[in-house]
Amino acid sequence: MVGRRRHTRLLAVVAAVAGVAISIYAATRIVAFAELFGIFKDHAGVRYTQAEIAARYNSTSSDSRSPMVPKIIHQIFHNWHDENNDTIPAKWQPSRQSCLDSNPDWEQMFWSAKRSEKFIEKEYPWFLSTYKSYRYPVQRVDVTKYFVLRHYGGIYIDLDNGCSASLEPLTYYPAFTTDGGLGALSNNIMGGKPNHPFFVIITENLIRWKLNYLLPYVTVMLCSGQWFLTAMWEKYHSDLSPDGTVRGFADAKTGWKPLHRILMDMRPGADPWVFFNQVAGESWADWDYRILKAVGDHIVLIMLFMVVFICVLVRSCMKYRARSPTTYIEYQKLDH
């Protein structure tokens, strides 16, 4: 009987310790996940509003900078129902045309599903099998963005984003993405010079990050989407040394600097947009998007709950131990 009680207490202690360990691990993963959303600290890099970029470009003072980004606008449309039909849906025609009209001297590169795959096959054959194996078609759209910017440079613009002005002022920033002011960084608009270490880091980590997280939205976002992009953004800055070198790019030139985040905050009272506008998007979002959005909107409360849960669990274990002292059995020699 005593042995059974001791075994029960041992199982309870083991279960409690395991629960604490799992809770601590879950809390650390939540903290790491929260860093993608800039909850505890702002994202790395230099943040500019669109108005600040325009003002700097239009300044009458002499500007010693030289444009670094090629005048190329990349846009992607993969028809997931008929890859032989490259016609852009009517709802996105005005936004696309606005970019053509605002930048008449820029080269326009349009990437259909077939053209994207042929590009990967020709320029990055080591990635072709991964490209074809993505479960969700939007993932192939995401990775195409990264590879065309790595190879050609220029500015990528989602079809649900239009242009309100010339993009010339953005050509002075060697690599940039957009920041909604809340949450992860965005991959709807990005730009930079060819073979910038940032785009190399992105594309070289895609295979390692290709996992199945069961939930469609999570899988897309962490394998190729905005959460993945934000993680690579932070990685670039953690690999960037004060002397201007980037870890892993020993043969590359020095002089690399923090990247730029262009603010595209849609909340009331936010800084006005100068270069871009937006129409309806998120056509690929799945059912779990609403769940994850709710989690993201209450991530701080969830983390506080985890901390309180761990504290309560530890205290309960301590009380249980205090109420259950070890019982010693007197040894008696048996007569034979």
Identity of residue 195 = N
Nearest by Cα to 233 from 214, 207, 206, 261: 261
Q: Worst-scoring range by mean pLDDT, 48-52, 114-118, 299-303?
A: 299-303
Given a cut of 50, is residue 288 above it in pLDDT? no
Q: What is the pLDDT of residues 162-193, one digit of tens each?
A: 999 999 999 999 999 999 988 899 999 999 99
Per-domain residue ranges of the chain: 11-41, 44-283
**According to the model, what pLDDT value does residue 190 have?**
98
CATH class of 44-283: alpha beta
Mean pLDDT of 82-107: 94
More confident residue, 333 or 108: 108
Lowest mean pLDDT among 97-101, 104-108, 166-170, 183-187: 183-187
Q: Using an 8 Å Cβ cutoff, are 43 and 185 in contact?
A: yes
Structure tokens at 213: 């997280």
pLDDT tier at 6, thresholds 50, 70, 90: low
Q: Which residue has the higher pLDDT, 168 or 26?
A: 168
Instruction: Report the alpha-carbon distance of residue 41 to residue 34 in Å, rounded.
Output: 10
**In this predicted structure, what is the pLDDT of residue 131?**
98
Angstrom distance (rounded) from CA 100 to CA 123: 27
